[in-house]
Structure formats: C-alpha cells, structure tokens
Amino acid sequence: MTEISVQRKIIEILRILSESGVPVGARRIGDLLSERGYNIGERAVRYHLSLLDERGFTKKHGYLGRTITDLGRKELEEALVTDRLNFVMTGVESMIYQTSFDLEQGDGDVVVNLSVIDKDRSDDALRLLGEVASSGLASPYIKLVDEGEMICTEVVAEGKSVIATFCSITVDGVLLKAGIPAELKFGGLVRLKDREFEGFVEYIGYKGTTINPIKIFLSKQMTDVSGAMKADGDGLILANFREIPEIAEEKVRKVLTELKDIGIAEWIYEQGGLVLYAGVNGIAYLEEKGIKTDTRPNAALMPFSEMVEV
C-alpha cells in the first residue's frame, strides 16, 4: 500500500467524522469507506484511527467511537484545498471539450461568463458594454436576461439581471475542433500602451489555484480598462495565455483571423503561445464605472444564436 493511498484513506476517515455530529465506531466507518470505494477492513480502520488519535486529529469516546477534533478539522481543510487544486483546470477543459461552435455555420454552443447585476442598472450596463466592444477589447456578443427568466438552467433572482458574455475559452474549443491542441497556462493582467500589447504584468497559473485566475483579478478590481480604451492610453486588461504547437502556427492564425472577422476574438501571437483578451473585460469596465457584479467566468454553455451584438 503506497503512502499516498494511506493518506487518502486517513483523510476520508476525517471527512466521515466531520460529517457526523456524534461519535462513529470503527465498524461503521469501515462500511462508509466501502460505500465510497475504499475497501478496508475494520481492523485496518482501527489502526488508522489509533494513528489519528496519536496526532490529536480524533478523540475516542469509549465504545461509542470517535469524533474529529479542531486540529483534525484544520488538517482536513488543508487536505481538501490540495484536492481542489486541479478543480479549476478540470472545469475549463470540460468546457473546451463541449464547445461545438462551427465557424462556417456561425452557430453552435459557446462558453459564456455569467454576471449578475441590479436590474435598474441594466441600461447603463448595456451602454458601457457597447463602449468596450467598440474599442475591440471585448466581444460584442452578449445576452441579457431579466428577473424571473431562465438562463443556463438558472432562474434570475428578483430585482436582478444576468448578462452572459462571450468567453475566450470558446476559442480553445474551436482550435481543438480544428485539430489544434492548446494548453491553457495562466490568466492575468496585461498592459496596453497606445493600444499595443506590452506583456503580462501579473498572472496566476490555472493549475496552481482553487479559484479561476481571471475571477481573482476581476474581484480585486485590478484592471484599468478605461485607460486601455483610449487611443493613446495606458491601461491594464484581463487576458490568458496558452501554449500552441509551433508547427500549427499558420493554421492557428487562419482560424483566429476568421474569428476576429466576426468580432469574436482579439489575439496576440507570442513566441510559443497565444494571448487572448478575456471575455470579461467589459464586465471589468462596469466595475470601474461603479456597477457591482457577481461574475462567474466560463460558467456555462450557450447556443451562439441566442446572443446578440450589444
């Protein structure tokens, strides 16, 4: 039995105890482990419990069984963070794989970001999103849904509106469909000076975080889309970077040019990879202008035909 295998079983025992409000015995823990796919006998469970007792992670209550301690809960929380490190990337890859947008047909499922705003700010939001789209820093395609209506299996809450914006992850799906593998590496802030790409100033890897990197920078309001929109301006916008096989560069450029022609993607080809401006730059602009949002990047799939130009 490997050390990793043992550690996973110990963590699962702590999880079982944390979910119970009363002491749990070794036999019951063994049954619950079996239900979760861990084949381990009662004797082995008792051995693991004795180790947890020694470390102060569990407390024995005579024949009643054991409960988890505060120290045990802290250990479990830290372990769960480690388990979640690949969660963001797994979700992104799933969206990329499910993208069905067809360039020739101009339709199919695309990945969208979902942003909740106060309904009474909807008109202002549409006007501001139009300004960003006109600047070329975000796709013009959106969908606005009001309270009580359905969007991506969710009902919009009373007094709220939801804006779906085109997510740049869709481009990775289009490339994959064209036989071009793109490996998403990191997301962050890029500087634009005189509307020209200067490079990343801050970034976070997709495989090293439990939260979407774009959401982190968006929530911290670190952008300066307003400055970037000016013809001679200096600003910071959201973008992500993916590695592309060098041999596929010509084919990649062809696909991206076709996407840009219909207003979908703003891109920069760097050595060894591709920079795409994030679809939530319009939402970042709303935040800069005082419109609060609750945004989930690459939140769902939506038929492109449901989106309109703002």
pLDDT tens digit string along 54-96? 999 999 999 889 999 999 998 888 776 666 666 678 788 889 9
Nearest to 301 by CA among 167, 179, 178: 167
Q: Against a cut of 0.85, is the pTM above it?
A: no
C-alpha–C-alpha distance, residues 165 and 142, integer Å: 5
pLDDT band at residue 3 using 50, 70 and 90 as cut-offs: very low
> What number does CATH give the domain 3-84?
1.10.10.10
Contact yes or no for 285/226 (Cβ under 8 A): yes
pLDDT at res. 209: 76
Higher pLDDT, 114 or 265: 114
C-alpha–C-alpha distance, residues 170 and 172, integer Å: 5
Q: pLDDT tens across 296-308, in order? A: 999 899 999 999 9
1 pLDDT more than 50: no
Tell me what the pLDDT averaged over the chain comes to: 90
pLDDT band at residue 263 using 50, 70 and 90 as cut-offs: confident
For 54-90, b/e burial (b = at least 16 CB within 10 A) is eeebbbeeeeebbbbbeebeebbeebeeeeeeeebbe
DSSP 58-125: EEE-GGG-EEE-HHHHHHHHHHHHHHHTTHHHHHHHHHHHH---BTTTTBSEEEEEEEEEEGGGHHHH
For CATH 1.10.10.10, the residue range(s) in the chain are: 3-84
For CATH 3.30.70.1360, the residue range(s) in the chain are: 90-309
CATH architecture of 90-309: 2-Layer Sandwich (3.30)
